[in-house]
Structure 1
Amino acid sequence: MDNKHKKVLELFEKLGVAEDQVFALKEHVISLETEVTKLEEATKDPKTRESALRKNLVAARKKTFDLEESSRDALDKETVVANGLRDQVKVLKKKVTTLVFHVLLDVTFYNGAKSFRWKGFLDT
């Protein structure tokens, strides 16, 4: 039950990250649509076109940087989760190897007379 609970929590965290990214992208799309409207209006007057383009370029650069930063943060979170899971797998592999070794020793030295101890399995 613990593994399923952990997986559900991990999926919930990933869902939260994905929702944040979708929300940021929706905001970015809305702002781009606004900029397109402004640009269309600016093309009607050639004098204001250049100044509007410069303003929009600065705004677009800032929004692009913010979007890249949020994506980088999400990737960093995923990397931390992956590293944590990798460490857990290493620990569990060591435990399984130790348990297999103990079972083989029990069978070898006691000729199978000693049964597997669940108590020892749960304590390790």
Structure 2
Amino acid sequence: MAAVGFSLAGCTSSMDLFGGVKRVDRSIATGTVPVPASSGVTLSDETTVRNAVTSADLARLGSSSVPWANTATGSAGVVSSIREARNDGHVCRYFTTTRHSYEGIARFNGQACLTGTGDWLLTAFDRL
């Protein structure tokens, strides 16, 4: 008798035993989530990376890496390479860094250039 009960239980899940009409639940809506624009968190990390890259003494650094950490966001990373060159008459530093954050680990290529007023401007920060 128990075997019959189990076999019938499997068959009843797809059968309409009570004569009800199947209804579609239209109260639930789905969609894609838009990609957020650059947040203050990302900009804060970019500023921290720019400061690490532009304050590095390249003559003493050699091929060593430069660690950075942003206490405001909890993100951290390592600048693995920095190369300085002239770009359209401006001194620029090209670099590669990682960013370890609550979103995961990512690599970036970037560029910071010295402006005419003596400030460093981050002109590229692209996720790889």
TM-score scaled to structure 2, two decimals? 0.27
Q: Between Structure 1 and Structure 2, which shows a larger proportion of helix residues?
A: 1
* Structure number with higher relative contact order (C-alpha < 8 Å, ≥ 6 residues apart): 1
More strand by share: 2
Calculate the TM-score normalised by the size of structure 1.
0.28
